[in-house]
Amino acid sequence: MNDHLFQKDFITTQDWSVDDLRTAIDLAVQLKGQRHAGELHDQILRAKTLYMLFFEESTRTRNSFETGMTQLGGHGVYLTPAATQIGHGENARDTGRVLSGFGEGIAIRDCRTGIGQDYLYEMAEHADAPIFSMQDDIDHPCQAMADLMTLVERFGSDLSGRKFVISWTHAPKYVRPLSVPQSLVMLMPRFGMDVTLAYPEGYHLMPDIMDTARANAEDAGATFTETHDMDEAFADADFLYPKSWGPIMVTEEQDEVEAMAAKHTDWRATTERMALAKDDAVYMHCMPVDRGYEADDEVIDGPQSVIYQQAENRLHIQKALMALTMGGEF
Ligand code: CP
């Protein structure tokens, strides 16, 4: 058991040291190796329970957490506001105290703008069990850690000096939260990567997150750059993460969102743009990806794409985080 990390919340990577994040990645790589070798590790969280509370829908997050608990010997319980008394107004304090009296961990997805992360921290204050973010309005730390693990596996643990590009892309379907780009701009500079953030006017991130990203880059001796030119961002990049997010700092009104997005249909990951990057550059996306809008199929399914490794690594990194914080025996 890891005493140091026992019962530590995982709401943002900012609350964890670089050394502790590396410990999680090392364990995730170990668990992944065992899984691929067909070795069971179902004693690690034997008979322990994780409550998974979703305010929004999910494919990867729900199934990777629930599968992870099964593989570690425990159980994941899927909850929604409508399936609990949260839907009738029971607050985070009472919900957290009750659930942590039953089980050993609580994971929450709450992307409500201006509410989500506050809800997680409120539950963390009162629950006697670690709280995991399954994405909120500000951060998606499990996704960012799975992304980092994917890069470590492919390029090694020293990623300093590599150019990591997060670029806005056009997508018509729904207003995606800011949490993925924000989690990436905060995390990647801490591992020495030179981060470039590209977006059209109106798609800026939260000012305090930008301040954190700049401070993290400075502390690590890395750079953090902004541009409104997607081609400029792609030039000589090592890691490309083109994805859509909503103009949430400006509006969430559907008509206005669609009108803004319609002005930037050329913000798409194409094979021509990929050619601007380094020869061994990788194409990344957290998924779901809007094929034909955010990126061409040739890019998504091409040899530079690592999107399915990123998705699979959600399972392994979350198992590591749960094992470290929920009293895992290993
Ligand atoms: N990337 C991600 O969080 O996917 P889901 O919304 O399907 O969980």
For 13-140+314-325, CATH number out of 3.40.47.10, 3.40.50.1370, 3.40.640.10, 3.40.50.150 equals 3.40.50.1370
Cβ distance 290 to 267 under 8 Å? Answer: no
The CA distance from 168 to 181, in Å, is 9
Question: Which of 59, 42, 53 has the alpha carbon at shortest distance from 80?
Answer: 53
Question: Which of 133, 131, 66 has the alpha carbon at shortest distance from 104?
Answer: 131
**Amino acid of residue 36:** H
Residues with CB under 6 A from ligand 1: 58-61, 135, 143, 286-287
What is the residue with the minimal CA distance to atom 7 of ligand 1? 59
Provide the pLDDT for residue 174: 76
What is the residue with the minimal CA distance to atom 3 of ligand 1? 61
Alpha carbon of 29 to ligand 1 centroid (Å): 21
Alpha carbon of 111 to ligand 1 centroid (Å): 12
- Closest atom, ligand 1, to C-alpha of 64: 8
Question: Which of 76, 48, 19 has the alpha carbon at shortest distance from 327?
Answer: 48
Burial of 279 (0-12, 13-18, 19+ CB in 10 A): exposed
The CA distance from 72 to 66, in Å, is 10
Domain residue spans of the chain: 13-140+314-325, 141-310
Hey, which of 134, 244, 287 would you mutate to test ligand 1's pocket, going by the most ligand atoms within 8 Å of its Cβ? 287
Provide the pLDDT for residue 1: 73
Alpha carbon of 60 to ligand 1 centroid (Å): 5
Alpha carbon of 266 to ligand 1 centroid (Å): 25
- Closest atom, ligand 1, to C-alpha of 311: 1
Give the neighbor-by-neighbor strand order of the sheet with 131-136. 75-79, 49-54, 105-110, 131-136
Question: Which of 38, 41, 82, 51 has the alpha carbon at shortest distance from 319?
Answer: 41
Alpha carbon of 284 to ligand 1 centroid (Å): 14
Hey, which of 53, 54, 55, 58 would you mutate to test ligand 1's pocket, going by the most ligand atoms within 8 Å of its Cβ? 58
- Closest atom, ligand 1, to C-alpha of 134: 3
Hey, which of 66, 284, 286 would you mutate to test ligand 1's pocket, going by the most ligand atoms within 8 Å of its Cβ? 286
- Closest atom, ligand 1, to C-alpha of 142: 3
Assigned CATH class of 141-310 = alpha beta
State the CB neighbour count (10 A cutoff) for residue 30.
14
Alpha carbon of 221 to ligand 1 centroid (Å): 32
What is the residue with the minimal CA distance to atom 1 of ligand 1? 286
pLDDT tens for the 330 residues of the chain, in order: 779 999 999 999 999 999 999 999 999 999 999 999 999 999 999 999 999 999 999 999 999 999 999 999 999 999 999 999 999 999 999 999 999 999 999 999 999 999 999 999 999 999 999 999 999 999 999 999 999 999 999 999 999 999 999 999 999 877 899 999 999 999 999 999 999 999 999 999 999 999 999 999 999 999 999 999 999 999 999 999 999 999 999 999 989 999 999 999 999 999 999 999 999 999 999 999 999 999 999 999 999 999 999 999 999 999 999 999 999 998
The CA distance from 20 to 8, in Å, is 11
Question: Which of 213, 148, 146 has the alpha carbon at shortest distance from 178?
Answer: 213
Provide the pLDDT for residue 110: 98
The CA distance from 182 to 269, in Å, is 20
The CA distance from 50 to 100, in Å, is 9
Tokens read off for 68: 């992870």
What is the residue with the minimal CA distance to atom 4 of ligand 1? 60
Q: Please indicate whether the domains covering 13-140+314-325 and 141-310 agree at the CATH topology level.
A: yes
